[in-house]
């Protein structure tokens, strides 16, 4: 089936990660799909049997405190009292954006689209800016660090300067560190929330490859953390998320090994892409960011072969590719790249002839 170039590409404006959508876009693609459309670690933290009470009983407040203690240690934040655990960071976004009265929200972009949506929901007038210095004019400033999808990193020093400036006029800086587990961790500002004017968001599901559990954290000065906790109410985090969160965040050996593994697989992906003359413009060890003129064609060609990558409504040249989850997926990706290269050569010949 020959699709018109880039036709399918235009339809996707989602966040990646939905095979239902992939199947609707490419109904004739071979199963099983290879989903490279997210930045979720394909090597999940090892599954274990949950106690039945994790499902049957209301989550124990004590267990939440334990989880918050462990998370505070891993994220290097002042104390467990600075942490609020939530059923995913997503649900926190409008609540965090509501911490300042409706005003001017500036998002350092392009980035994860939910921040702008959440700020608008909270009543802010939202704009995207390309430069960190422009954020100083905000009542609410939002930075994803490292950024999704391009991996841009803002230094801790710059972020703390911005937080101070905003705080002094009653504003707030939100730093979404969803991908900070894979570095550069020395730029994390999770340890700096005590001075106020700063909320840091942490995602559990991406690095630990357990996005279905729904677990995330807000890290903030204590009064702000208590306010967010009050909004979520009791039993916000499900039993399975509490149990996996406590075990996986406490498993430093797994985390260190996984960081190494992901860096090595990132290098392998870059090498593979470069073999097909696809330069990597940025990203993190969990996803690579491409800017190529034939992005829409590549998206379609991958899709027809049952490989879902991420494209973007705001760019016809940008693609994001996550890590394959095993040798079969690596092989399928390589075959798709070969087939794309053949098509391009054949296309160029036609143009020349």
- Can you give the binding site for a second copy, defined by CB under 8 A? 15, 17-21, 35, 38, 40, 44, 47, 52-62, 87-88, 90-91, 93-94, 114, 117-118, 121, 205, 209-214, 230-241, 244
To the nearest whole angstrom, how small is the minimum distance from the Cβ of residue 89 to a second copy?
10
CB of 260 to a second copy, least distance (A): 21
Q: Residue 15 Cβ, how far from a second copy at the closest point, in Å? A: 7
Q: How far is the CB of 212 from a second copy (least distance, A)?
A: 3
Spell out the SS3 assignment of the chain: CCCCCCHHHHHCCCCCCCHHHHHHHCCCCCCCCEECCCCCCCCCCCCCCCCCHHHHCCCCHHHHHHHHHHHHHHHCCCCHHHEEEECCCHHHHHHHHCCCCCCEEEEECCCCCHHHHHHHHCCCEEEEECCHHHHHHCCEEEEECCCCCCCCCCCHHHHHHHHHHHHHCCCEEEEECCCHHHCCHHHCCHHHHHHCCEEEEEECCCCCCCHHHCCEEEEECHHHHHHHHHHHCCCCCCHHHHHHHHHHHCCHHHHHHHHHHHHHHHHHHHHHHHHCCCCEEEEECCEEEEECCCHHHHHHHHHHCCEECEEECCEEEEEEEECCCCHHHHHHHHHHHHHHHHHHHHHHHHHHC
Query: 306 near 30, Cβ under 8 Å?
Result: yes
214 vs 294, which CB is nearer to a second copy? 214
Query: Shortest approach of a second copy to residue 141 CB, angstroms?
Result: 20
| Residue number with CB closer to a second copy (4 or 46) | 46
Nearer to a second copy, 78 or 94 (CB): 94
Query: Least distance (Å) from a second copy to the CB of residue 84?
Result: 13
CB of 196 to a second copy, least distance (A): 22
Residues 202, 180 contacting (CB under 8 angstroms): yes
Closest contact distance (angstroms) between CB of 349 and a second copy is 41
Residue 2 vs 58, nearer CB to a second copy: 58
Residues 6 or more apart in contact with residue 48 via CB below 8 angstroms: 247
When the beta carbons of 212 and 347 are compared against a second copy, the nearer one is 212
**Which of 193/241 has CB closer to a second copy?**
241
Report the residue number, 52 or 130, with the smaller CB distance to a second copy. Answer: 52
């Amino acid at each position: 089936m020959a699709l018109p170039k880039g036709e399918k590409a235009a339809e996707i404006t989602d966040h990646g990660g939905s095979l239902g959508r992939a199947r609707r876009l490419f109904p004739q693609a071979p199963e099983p799909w290879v989903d490279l459309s997210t930045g979720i670690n394909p090597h999940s933290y090892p599954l274990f049997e949950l106690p039945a009470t994790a499902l049957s009983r209301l989550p124990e407040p004590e267990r939440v405190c334990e989880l918050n203690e462990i998370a505070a240690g891993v994220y290097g934040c002042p104390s467990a009292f600075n942490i609020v655990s939530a059923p995913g960071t997503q649900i926190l976004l409008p609540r965090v954006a509501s911490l300042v009265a409706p005003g001017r929200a500036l998002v350092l972009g392009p980035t994860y689209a939910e921040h702008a949506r959440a700020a608008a929901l909270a009543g802010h007038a939202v704009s995207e800016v390309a430069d960190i210095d422009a954020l100083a004019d905000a009542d609410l400033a939002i930075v994803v660090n490292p950024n999704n999808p391009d991996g841009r990193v803002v230094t801790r020093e710059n972020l703390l300067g911005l937080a101070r400036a905003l705080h002094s006029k009653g504003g707030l800086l939100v730093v979404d560190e969803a991908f900070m587990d894979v570095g550069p961790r020395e730029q994390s500002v999770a340890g700096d929330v005590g001075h106020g004017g700063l909320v840091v968001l942490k995602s559990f599901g991406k690095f630990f490859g357990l996005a279905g559990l729904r677990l995330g954290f807000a890290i903030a000065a204590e009064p702000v953390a208590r306010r967010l906790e009050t909004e979520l109410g009791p039993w916000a985090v499900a039993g399975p998320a509490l149990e996996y969160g406590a075990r996986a965040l406490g498993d430093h050996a797994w985390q260190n090994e996984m960081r190494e593994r992901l860096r090595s697989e990132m290098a392998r992906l870059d090498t593979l892409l470069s073999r097909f003359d696809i330069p990597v413009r940025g990203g993190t060890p969990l996803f690579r960011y491409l800017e190529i003129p034939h992005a829409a064609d590549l998206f379609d060609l991958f899709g027809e072969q049952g490989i879902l990558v991420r494209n973007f409504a705001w760019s016809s040249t940008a693609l994001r590719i996550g890590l394959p989850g095993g040798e079969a997926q690596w092989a399928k990706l390589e075959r798709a790249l070969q087939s794309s290269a053949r098509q391009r050569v054949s296309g160029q010949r036609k143009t020349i002839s």
